[in-house]
Structure formats: C-alpha cells, structure tokens
Amino acid sequence: MKSFEAVELYFNRAADQLELTDNMRKLLLTAKREVQVQIAVEMDNGELQTLIGYRVQHDNARGPMKGGLRFHHEVDLDEVRSLASLMTWKTAVVNIPYGGAKGGVAVDVRKLSERELERITRKFVDELHDVIGPDTDIPAPDMGTNAEVMAWIMNQHNKYHGFNPGVVTGKPVEHYGIPGREEATGRGVGILSLKTVGRLGHRPQNTRVAIQGFGNVGSHAATFLHAADCKIVAISDVSGGYYKEDGINIPEAIRYANEHRHSLEGFSGAEKISNDSLLELDVELLIPAALGGVITAENAAQIRAPLIVEAANAPVRPDADEMLAERGVTILPDILANAGGVTVSYFEWVQNRQYYSWGLDRVRQELERVMTCAFEETWELARERDISLRTAAFMLGISRVGRATVLAGIT
C-alpha cells in the first residue's frame, strides 16, 4: 500500500463516523497545489547534478499551510502528498490556525558537503519563493534538514521579498528562532506518553520503554521520560539497537552520541541487539521514532508492548494497525503524538509576526497546555464512540477542517 493510500484509508474510517458525503471527502482529500521543480546544481567536483524537489500544499481552510522540508534519497511525490495531508489533520487536532503542506528533495544528504547542501537549498527556494511565505506556506525542518538549512531558506527568500523571518520556522535562535524548538517533537511525545501510560493504569517508575530511533525526536523523548523515572531499556539508531534490562543511562548515551558524530556505534553501556529485535521486546511502552512502516503484518504478531506511541510518521502500517487493535494494543497516532514540533513552530511564527520573544519556560508550558488539551479531546471522543485513538484524532481534525471550509464558502 502506497503512503497516500494509507492516509486515505484512515481518513475514510473517520469520514464514515462523521457521515461525510463522497463529494466532501474528495474536496478535503485533494491537495490545492502540487509543485515539482528541477534543481540543477554544480557539485564541489565541478559536475552538474539535476535533482527533483517537491512542495505539496494540501489545505489552507484554517490558516497558512505548514509543513516540513525533508532531504532524503527516497523522497517522492506520493510520500510528500501523504505527509502534506497528515499535516492538515495534525494542525487541526492540536487546534492551531494552520493548514497542511510538505516538501522534499530527492537527495542523499550523507553524500553532500555543507556547501553543496546550501547551494541545493538556495536553488530550491529560487524555484519556490513565489508560493511560500508567512501568510501562505511556512516550511520547517524535517528529515535531513536542520536549523541552519532553515536560516538559508529565510535568507534566500528575503532576497526576493524583503525581511520577514516568519517565512520559515525551526530557525536558529540567533536568526529569530525560538528556544525549545529542537526538543519540541520529542518533548511532546514524552508528555503524551506519560498521559497515556497513566490512563492505562501504569506508573512511570514501573514502565519499561523501548525507543527505536535516537535522533532528534527519540533522544529528547528519552530524556523527558528518563527524567520522569521511566526505565528506558532499549534505544537504537542506524548502527543497531542497544538493550539493558535494568535501564540505560540516557544522559551517558546522549553524551556518547554527541561525541561520535551523532552515532551510538560502539556504545558500551548496553547489549547490542538488532533494530527488529527492539520492536519485539517485552516492555510497557514502545516508541517508534525513526522511519515509517517499521511495524508490518509480518512482525505485528511479535509486538509485545501494550502501548505504542508513534513518534515517527506512519511507523505502523494499516494492516498491522488492524492486527494490533484486535489484540487490544493501544496506539497513540502520529498526527497527535508528534505534533509538538508544529505546535512550537506556531509559537515561533507568532513571535516572528509580533517581533517579541518568549523564554524557554513559557514555551514548555504552552506546549504542554496545547498537547494536553488535544489529548483529552481525542481520548474522550475515542471513549464515547468506542473507536481507536487514531480514528478519533482524524475525526477531530477532519471535522474542524470541514467546518472551516464550509463556513468560508465553497464557490
């Protein structure tokens, strides 16, 4: 099943609950604009390389479109289209005044120098500057991009349209960014993990956690949960998994990764296992925080965790989702669980528009308030309708976007 087909499946489950007409479903699912551009760039060795970039702008019924920009060799239009749609429902679930968008460039950033990465970024902005902006579409970091890339985007866009830092979020603090943005997605995952654990009758100190992925999201989620007295028994990155029955020293693991080019390769504070084995550990909480599609029909029967919190985008395939639901596994869906990043991006955009900065404490307080409110609404709707948390989250998002669309008038 392709990425957008999976999103469409989840959408239709929620739309059935809302009794949406076929015409309304088509209207809400169809992207407003899909842009594909050619990026011709000279590499450091003098060779000309031609890359393909995408920006899908899905919906703006509730405000400017918002979504990350990823640089990855597997990026294609179907993936970007599905992620843009998810952003529409994600921003609506946490009730911030945005629509959804997503972008990407099909390139392997591991093979690029910093100068090549900058040239590709600026060329991409050259092709897109007329269709992005603080009132239309606001990019943000994603896989393969970071705060520095966002600073290049702002700088290049300013050359065409004048100074306006709100064109992009996730920028360095020195370039009108916001403190707490880097930790926001992982911290949001941690906040909602604790709330879900509590609803299921567990206490943090009796909760064993396995986290697949120890990048930005996974490491910050691990830090938050470790501080809350959860026992993080397994972590992983591309080098493999690392398991310790009585709990991994997370601050030590983060120090090691920072000292070894953000890699856990050679980490001696835990036993080496495979990434696949990590998913099947006997734990109370499993957090897939790496790539999508890691839990499938083939391995779903081996998943032992009673709670899965989707820190990555679409880590559980639809067929596996059904199998796990039949077994009573609780899944906190990605459009709610990992919405902390876009929430703090909204705070950054607001400050950029007001030219006024918040402190880290206020950012964290507001993040917890927004995420908690969205969680409570989703949990109550799931309980009232006897449906999954995923369907409940989609229902909230779809109903808000649908109502905004109708109230504005469809002409």
32-41, 119-128, 259-268: least confidently modelled range: 259-268
Q: Which of 102, 123, 171, 231 is catalytic?
A: 102
User: Within 13 A of 392's CA, how many CA atoms are on the CB side?
Assistant: 22
Report pLDDT digits (tens) over 374-410.
999 999 999 999 999 999 999 999 999 999 999 998 7
Which H helix or E strand runs over 395?
helix 389-408
pLDDT at 410: 77
Report pLDDT digits (tens) over 46-58.
999 999 999 999 9
CB contact at 8 A, 306 and 329 = yes
pLDDT at 342: 97
Provide CB contacts within 8 A for 363, sequence distance 6+.
178, 179, 180, 184, 344, 347
pLDDT at 2: 86
For residue 329 the two structure tokens come to 């596994």
pLDDT at 295: 97
Report pLDDT digits (tens) over 151-177.
999 999 999 999 999 999 999 999 999
pLDDT at 176: 95
Report pLDDT digits (tens) over 242-266.
999 999 999 999 999 999 988 999 9
Q: Is the pLDDT of residue 225 over 90?
A: yes
Q: What is the mean pLDDT of residues 62-90?
A: 96
* pTM for the whole structure: 0.95
H helices within 30-146, ranges in order? 77-93, 114-128
Q: How far is CA 355 from the centre of its chain?
A: 27
- Gap between the Cα atoms of 370 and 392, Å rounded: 17
Q: What is the mean pLDDT of residues 329-345?
A: 97
User: Within 13 A of 283's CA, how many CA atoms are on the CB side?
Assistant: 32
Q: Write the DSSP string, 257-300.
A: HHHTTT--TT--SSEEE-HHHHHTS--SEEEE-S-SS-B-TTTG
List Cβ<8 Å contacts ≥24 apart for 21-30.
24/402, 27/405, 27/410, 28/59, 28/398, 28/401, 28/402, 28/405, 29/85
Q: Is the pLDDT of residue 411 over 70?
A: no
Q: Write the DSSP string, 149-160.
A: HHHHHHHHHHHH
CB contact at 8 A, 73 and 52 = no
- Gap between the Cα atoms of 60 and 45, Å rounded: 42
Percent pLDDT > 90 in the chain is 97
User: Within 13 A of 388's CA, how many CA atoms are on the CB side?
Assistant: 25
pLDDT at 257: 96
pLDDT at 103: 98
Q: Phi and psi dihedrals of 285, rounded to 5?
A: -140, 125
For the question of residue 111 being annotated catalytic, the response is no
Amino acid at 340: G
Q: What are the distances in angstroms from CA 333 to CA 251, 337, 358?
A: 27, 6, 29
- Gap between the Cα atoms of 27 and 408, Å rounded: 14
Q: What are the distances in angstroms from CA 145 to CA 100, 149, 209?
A: 19, 6, 28
Let me know the angle formed at the C-alpha of 390 by 387 and 392, rounded to the nearest 5 degrees: 55
Q: What is the mean pLDDT of residues 359-375?
A: 98
